[in-house]
C-alpha cells in the first residue's frame, strides 16, 4: 500500500466521518501551489474554501506567527493585549464598525451576530421580538443557531428541534421578505451578499438596498454574513462595499486569518452595545496570536494594489471562462462575483473535480451542481491563465 493510501485509511479509522476522504494527502504549500505527499503539484483554486487569502507560506504572515507564537499565545480573554488592541482598531477603521467581537470560526461569528441582534431586540422591543428572517439556499454554519438559519439543515430530523422563530424568504425577492417582516416581532434579517455554499449566487444590489430600507423602516437589525465573501474576496475590502449597502452587523472568518483560525463580528454601536459583560464570550477569541495574524492580514490587504490585483485576476478568470464557454458546449453557466466564482458544466461536479485533481488543479463544489473557484487573493494573472489552461484541457478530455 502506498504511503498516501495508508495515511488516508488509518487516519479515517480514527476520525468522525464528517467528510468523504480525498484520494491524495496534502503535504505543503507555497504561494498559490500545494504539493501532495507523492510530490505532485497542484494549483490551488480552493484555498481551503476561500480561506488562504494570502496563499501559502506568505512571508509577512510567517514572520508574524514565528515572532508572536513564542512571545504570547494565550491569556484570559478579559485581559487587553497590544495585539488585540491593534487588530480591533484596524478592523474598526477598515470596516467602519464601532465594536468588534473576536471569535475563532465563521459559525461562531454568526452565533455572536444572532445573539447580539436578539439581545438588542429584547432590550429595545421586548421578549416577543425574537424572530429572525433567513433565506432559502443560505449557509451560515453548523452550530445550532447558525444551522437554524440554514434551510437545508432543517431536512436533518435527527437534530430537531432547531431555534424557533425563524422565518424563510427567497433570496433576491424583497416581497417575500416583506411578507414575513414584522416591526414588533422581527429582531434581524441575516443574508449572505453572495450565497456561497448555495451555489455562488450574488445578491442584486437593489435587493440589498431594499433590505436596508425595510430594516430602517421597521427598526430591524440587518446582518451580513461576510464569512466567505468578505476580506477582499469580491475585490473590495468589505463585501458590503461591492453592493453599496452597509449592514448593522457583519460576521467574518475564513480570509481574515488566511489559514489561521480566527473570526469576528463587527457591529455599529446601537447593536453591539447590547452585548454586555457576561452575556457572551469565548475562551480563545481574541487570543494574541490570532489577533497578530489578523492585523497582518488586514495590513497586507491595505497595501496599494492588493484589491486592484483581485479585480484584475477576477476579470482574467471571467473572460477566460466566457471564452471556454463560447468555444465549447461544456460550460453551461458562469456565476459569482470577484474571486468567488461558480461554473456549471455538463459534467457532474464530482467527476470534474476528480479530473481536475488528476491534472493538478484543486477546487471545490458548491450547491451540489456548481464548480467553485476561490483562489488565493494574491494569485497573479499568469497563474490565473495557467489555471484556465488546465480547466480548458480537462473539459476537452472529458466525454
Between 235 and 255, whose beta carbon lies closer to ligand PLP?
255
Q: What is the size of the binding site for ligand PLP (CB under 6 A)?
A: 15
Chain Cα centroid distance, residue 149: 16
Among 46, 169, 242, 253, binds ligand PLP (CB under 6 A): 253
- Options 56, 118, 119, 140; binder of ligand PLP; rule CB under 6 A: 140
Instruction: Out of 64, 95, 107, 238, point to the residue binding ligand PLP (CB under 6 A).
Output: 107
Q: Which of 27, 54, 32 is nearest to 45 (CA)?
A: 32
Measured from the CB atom, is 103 or 394 closer to ligand PLP? 103
d(C-alpha 227, C-alpha 106), whole Å: 6
Min dist CB 51 to ligand PLP, Å, is 8
Of 139, 243, 252, 260, the one binding ligand PLP by CB under 6 A: 139
Element of type H or E holding 101: strand 99-103
**Minimum distance between the CB of residue 327 and ligand PLP, rounded to whole angstroms?**
32
How far apart are CB 193 and ligand PLP at their closest, in Å? 9
- Tell me the C-alpha distance between 345 and 333, whole Å: 7
Choose between 110 and 267: whose C-beta lies nearer to ligand PLP: 110
Give the residue closest to ligand PLP by C-beta.
106
Tally of helices (H runs) and strands (E runs) in the chain: 13, 17
> Which of 48, 55, 106, 376 touches ligand PLP (CB under 6 A)?
106
Least distance from ligand PLP to the Cβ atom of residue 124, Å: 26
Type and span of the H or E element at 250:
strand 249-252
> Interacting stretch for ligand PLP, rule CB under 6 A, among 223-231, 292-300, 343-351, 364-372?
223-231
C-alpha cell at 7: 495515511
103 binds ligand PLP (CB under 6 A): no
The reply to whether 132 sits near ligand PLP by the rule CB under 6 A is: no
236 binds ligand PLP (CB under 6 A): no
As a whole number of angstroms, the distance between CA 148 and CA 115 comes to 13
Q: Which is nearer to ligand PLP, 48 or 360 (CB)?
A: 48
**Using rule CB under 6 A, residue 228 touches ligand PLP:** yes
* Candidate ranges 138-146, 272-280, 319-327, 334-342; the one touching ligand PLP (CB under 6 A): 138-146
Give, as one character, the DSSP assignment of residue 368: T
Q: In 3D, which of 371, 384, 330, 391 has the Cα closest to residue 200?
A: 371
Question: Cβ(197)–Cβ(374) under 8 Å?
Answer: no
> Looking at beta carbons only, is 255 or 360 nearer to ligand PLP?
255
Residue among 132, 227, 290, 384 that touches ligand PLP (CB under 6 A):
227
How do strand 201-202 and strand 194-195 relate by DSSP bridges? antiparallel
* Beta-carbon contacts of residue 197 (< 8 Å; ≥ 6 apart): 139, 228, 366, 367
> How far, in Å, CA of 117 to CA of 121, rounded?
6
**Residue from the set 197, 236, 300, 383 that interacts with ligand PLP by CB under 6 A:** 197
Cβ burial, residue 6 (10 Å; 0-12/13-18/19+): exposed
Question: Candidates 63-71, 123-131, 161-169, 221-229 — which segment interacts with ligand PLP by CB under 6 A?
Answer: 221-229
For 89-96, the CB contacts below 8 A with 24+ separation are 90/294, 90/295, 90/298, 90/299, 91/264, 91/266, 91/294, 91/298, 92/266, 94/237, 94/238, 94/298, 94/302, 95/237, 95/238, 95/250, 95/266, 96/238, 96/246
Question: Which residues here bind ligand PLP, judged by CB under 6 A?
Answer: 49, 105-107, 110, 139-141, 192, 196-197, 225, 227-228, 253
Amino acid at each position: 500500500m502506498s504511503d498516501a493510501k495508508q495515511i488516508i485509511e488509518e487516519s479515517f479509522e480514527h476520525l468522525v466521518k464528517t467528510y468523504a476522504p480525498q484520494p491524495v494527502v496534502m503535504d505543503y504549500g507555497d504561494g498559490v501551489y500545494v504539493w501532495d505527499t507523492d510530490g505532485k503539484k497542484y494549483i490551488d483554486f480552493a484555498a481551503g474554501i476561500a480561506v488562504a487569502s494570502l496563499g501559502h507560506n506568505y512571508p509577512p504572515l510567517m514572520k508574524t506567527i514565528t515572532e508572536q507564537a513564542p512571545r504570547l499565545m494565550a491569556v484570559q480573554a478579559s485581559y487587553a493585549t497590544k495585539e488585540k488592541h491593534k487588530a480591533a482598531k484596524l478592523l474598526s477603521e477598515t470596516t467602519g464598525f464601532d465594536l468588534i467581537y473576536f471569535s475563532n470560526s465563521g459559525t461562531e461569528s454568526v452565533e455572536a451576530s444572532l445573539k447580539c441582534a436578539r439581545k438588542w431586540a429584547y432590550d429595545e422591543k421586548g421578549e416577543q421580538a425574537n424572530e429572525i428572517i433567513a433565506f432559502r439556499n443560505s449557509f451560515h454554519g453548523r452550530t445550532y443557531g447558525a444551522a437554524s438559519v440554514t434551510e437545508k439543515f432543517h431536512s436533518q430530523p435527527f437534530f430537531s428541534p432547531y431555534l424557533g422563530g425563524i422565518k424563510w424568504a427567497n433570496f433576491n425577492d424583497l416581497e417575500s421578505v416583506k411578507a414575513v417582516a414584522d416591526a414588533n416581532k422581527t429582531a434581524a434579517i441575516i443574508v449572505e451578499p453572495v450565497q456561497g455554499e448555495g451555489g455562488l449566487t450574488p445578491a442584486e444590489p437593489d435587493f440589498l438596498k431594499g433590505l436596508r430600507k425595510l430594516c430602517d423602516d421597521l427598526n430591524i437589525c440587518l446582518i451580513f454574513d461576510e464569512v466567505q465573501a468578505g476580506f477582499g474576496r469580491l475585490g473590495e475590502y468589505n463585501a458590503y462595499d461591492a453592493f453599496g449597502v452597509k449592514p448593522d452587523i457583519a460576521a467574518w472568518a475564513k480570509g481574515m486569518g488566511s489559514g489561521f483560525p480566527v473570526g469576528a463580528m463587527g457591529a455599529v454601536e446601537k447593536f453591539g452595545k447590547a452585548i454586555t459583560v457576561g452575556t457572551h464570550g469565548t475562551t480563545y477569541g481574541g487570543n494574541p496570536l490570532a489577533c497578530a495574524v489578523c492585523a497582518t492580514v488586514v495590513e497586507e490587504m491595505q497595501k496599494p494594489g492588493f484589491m486592484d490585483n483581485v479585480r484584475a485576476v477576477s476579470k482574467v478568470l471571467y473572460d477566460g471562462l466566457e471564452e471556454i464557454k463560447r468555444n465549447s458546449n461544456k460550460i453551461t453557466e458562469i456565476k459569482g462575483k470577484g474571486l468567488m466564482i461558480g461554473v456549471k458544466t455538463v459534467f457532474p461536479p464530482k467527476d470534474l473535480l476528480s479530473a481536475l485533481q488528476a491534472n493538478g488543479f484543486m477546487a471545490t463544489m458548491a450547491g451540489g451542481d456548481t464548480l467553485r473557484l476561490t483562489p488565493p487573493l494574491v494569485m497573479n494573472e499568469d497563474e490565473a491563465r495557467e489555471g484556465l489552461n488546465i480547466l480548458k484541457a480537462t473539459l476537452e478530455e472529458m466525454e
